[in-house]
Structure 1
Amino acid sequence: MDISLIAALLALGAAVGYAAGLLGIGGGMLLVPFMTMVLTARNFPEEHIVHMAIATSLATIMFTSISSVRAHHARGAVLWNVVKLLAPGILIGSWIGPWIGAQLDSEALAMSFAIFVAFSATQMLLDKKPAASRDLPKPPGMFAAGGVIGVLAGLVGAGGGFVSVPFMTWCNVKIHNAVATSAALGFPIALAGTLSNIYYGLNEPDLPSGSLGYIYLPALLVISLASVTTAPLGARTAHKLPVKSLKRVFAIILYVLAAYMLYKAFD
C-alpha cells in the first residue's frame, strides 16, 4: 500500500473507533461505504468489492470492541449477564449473516446495506427511544433476539448496536448500560462473522493478493491499529456528554453514505 492509502485508512480507522466507543456501534456503517470507495479506486474486482468491504469491516470490530468494552467495563456499565444470554444466538446468527451475503450479488448486497443504513440514520435522527415498558425476555427469547441481531450484523458488516441498543432500552435497560453492553456484544458478532466470511470466501476466484477469504488483510491491520486507539476516547466521552447533537450530525453523514451505496447498487 502507498503512503496516501495508509494515511486515509488510519484516518478512517480513527473515526470508526471513536464512533464505536461514543455511540455503541461497531463502525461498519462508516467503514463499509469508505472501504467500498477505496477498493473501487484501486480497481478491485467489481463483483467482490462490497463483499470484501463488509467482511473487512466486520473483522475490525473484533479489535474495536475489545478496546471499547474495556473502557465501558472500567465504569461498571457492561451488563455481563445480558451478554451471556444474547451471545449464543448472536454467534449462530453472525455465521448465518455472511452466508446470506455470499448468496447475493454485489448489487443486491449494496442495496441491502443502503436500506439498513438509511433505516439506522432515521432512527438516530429522530432519536426516538422505544417505550421502556417491559423486562428482558426469558433465555429462549434472548437467544432468538441474539439470532436476529447476529444475522443483521453479519449481513451488513456492522456491530449490531442499532438493533441491540433499541432492543435493550425497550426492555428497560438504561441507555448507557445498553451502549456499553452493545459494545461487548460486538466481539462475538465480529468473531463468528469473520470466520464465516473467511470460510465462504476461500474458494472465490479473482480475489486480490492479501485477501483471506473476503477479508482484505492490509486494510484490516491499518484500520484496527487506529480504531483500537480511539475507541476508548469515544467510550469516555459517551459518559461525559449528551450525544444527541452528535447523533444528528452522524445521521446526516449516514444518509450520504447510504446514497453512495445505493448508487453502487445501480452503477
Structure 2
Amino acid sequence: MLDAVNWAILLPIFLSVGVVAGILAGLLGVGGGIVVVPVLYWLTEVGLLEVDQSVAMHFAVATSLATIIPTSISSARAHHRKGSIDLIMFRAWAPFIVMGALIGGGLATQFDATVLTGIFGVVAMLVVLNMLNPRPFTLADAPPSGLLSKAAIATPIGVFSAMMGIGGGTLSVPTLTLLSFPVHRAVGTAALFGLMIAVPGVLGYALVGQDIAGLLPGSIGYINLPSALAISIATFLCAPIGVRIAHSLNPKRLRVAFAVFLAISAIKMLSESFIA
C-alpha cells in the first residue's frame, strides 16, 4: 500500500521522470518508455514501490506503455505541425506494428524479467553501434513496398517494443534510417507509431495480468494507474519541447543524441540482466 509518505517521495520522482521522458519522446520519437521502464523497475528494487520482484519488470513495462499513449499523442501532434510525419509510411506499417504489439504484449508475460532486460539491452547496443558509425550501414535506398517485406520489418518492431514497454522510435527510427529514410521524418513518424504500439500493448497487459499477486493497489492487470497518470502529466506537457529541440538540430547531431541516450539505457538494462 502506498501511503502519504511514499507519495511525497514518489510524486517528484514521477514528475521529473515524466519531464525527461516527454522531452526525449519529442526529440527522438521514442515514446519515453526507455527512460520510464528502468526508473520504475529501480523503484521496486529500493522498495519505494512495493511490487513483488517476480512481476516487477512486467509492472514496469506495462505501466510504461500506459504513459506512452498520452505522450505519443502530444509528440505526434507537435511533429505534425512541423510537417515531419510521413503518413504514407505510417499507413503502410501501422497495421503490422499493431499486430506485433498484440503478440508482444502476450509474449512478455511468458518470459522472466532478466530475459526482457537482456533483450532490451542487446538490441539497443546494436542500434547504438550503427548510429554512431560515421558512415552508418544501410540496407536499401528506400523502404520496401511489398506487403510481405513491410510485414517482416514492421511486425517485429511491434513485438519487441510491446515486450520492452517502449514506443516505436527506439526500433523504428534506426530501422528507417537503415532504409535511407531522413532522420527527422523517421523521428516524427515514430512518434505516431508509439500510439499504435501502446494501445494494444496496454490491452494485452491489462488482460493477462488479472488476479496476479504482488502488484500495487489501483492496478488494472500489470498497469498501475496512479503511477502512469503522475508520469503522463509531465510527458504530455513536455513532449512538444523535445520536438522543438529536434527541429533545431541537424541530422548528424540528432543521430548522435539518439545513440548516446540509447547507450545509457542499454547499459543500465544489461547490468540488471547480467549482474543481478
TM-score normalised by L of structure 2: 0.88
Flag the 1:229–1:159 CA change in 2: closer, same or farther, 3 A: same
Q: Deviations over 1:192-233 (max 9, x none)?
A: 111111111113222221211111211100110000111011
Greater mean deviation of Cα atoms: 257-266 or 158-167:
257-266
Query: Match of 2:43, as an amino acid?
Result: V
Deviation of residue 243 (structure 1)? 6.4
Give the alignment of 1:56-95 within 5 angstroms: 56-95=63-102
- 1:152, 1:160 within 8 Å by CA — same for their partners in 2? no
1:23 aligns with 2:39: no
Matches within 5 A, 1:138-157: 138-157=146-165
The one of 191, 216, 220 equivalent to 2:228 is 220
2:166 alignment partner in structure 1: 158
Name which of structure 1's ranges 113-122 and 74-83 shifts more when overlaid on structure 2.
113-122
Unaligned runs of 5+ residues in structure 1 are none
1:131-151, Cα deviation, whole Å (9 max, x unpaired): 652343223322332211101
Tell me whether 248-257 or 1-10 shows the greater mean CA deviation: 248-257
**Structure 2: runs of 5+ lacking an equivalent:** 1-5
Cα distance in 2, alignment partners of residues 15 and 119 from structure 1: 23
In structure 2, relative to structure 1, the CA distance for the partners of 1:218 and 1:135 (3 Å cut) is closer
In structure 2, distance between residues paired with 1:59 and 1:191: 8
Q: Which residue of 2 aligns with 1:45?
A: 52
Letter in 2 for 1:33: P
TM score, norm. by length of structure 1: 0.90
Matched, 1:5 2:13: no
| Change beyond 3 A, Cα 1:2–1:99 | same
Alpha-carbon shift at residue 182 of structure 1 (Å): 0.8
Deviation for aligned residue 1:120: 3.4
Q: CA deviation at 1:123?
A: 3.7
Partner residue, 1:98: 105
Matches within 5 A, 1:196-207: 196-207=204-215
Q: Is the 8 A contact 2:99 2:158 kept in 1?
A: yes
Q: Encode CA deviations 1:55-99: one digit per residue, 9 max, x unaligned.
A: 111111111110011111112221112111111111110011122
Match of 1:33 among 27, 38, 48: 38
Distance 1:150 1:100 in 2: 12
Q: Is the 8 A contact 1:30 1:254 kept in 2?
A: no
My pick for the range that moved more, 246-255 or 26-35, is 246-255
Amino acid at match of 1:159: G
* CA–CA distance in structure 2, aligned partners of residues 2 and 28 of structure 1: 21
**Share of identical aligned residues, percent?**
36
The count of corresponding residues between Structure 1 and Structure 2 is 267
Task: State the one-letter code of the partner of 1:161.
Answer: G
Report Cα offsets for 1:17-74 as digits up to 9, x if no partner.
Answer: 1001111212222111111111222242010111111111111111111001111111
Give the conservation status (yes or no) of the 8 Å contact 2:183–2:255.
no
**What whole-Å deviation, never above 9, does each CA across 1:84-130 have from its counterpart, x for those lacking one?**
11111111100111222111122222222222333333344436262
Kindly report the root-mean-square deviation, in angstroms, between the aligned alpha carbons of the 2 structures. Answer: 2.2
Does the 8 Å CA contact 2:22/2:239 hold for their aligned counterparts? yes
Distance 1:254 1:172 in 2: 20
Q: Secondary structure at the match of 1:56?
A: helix
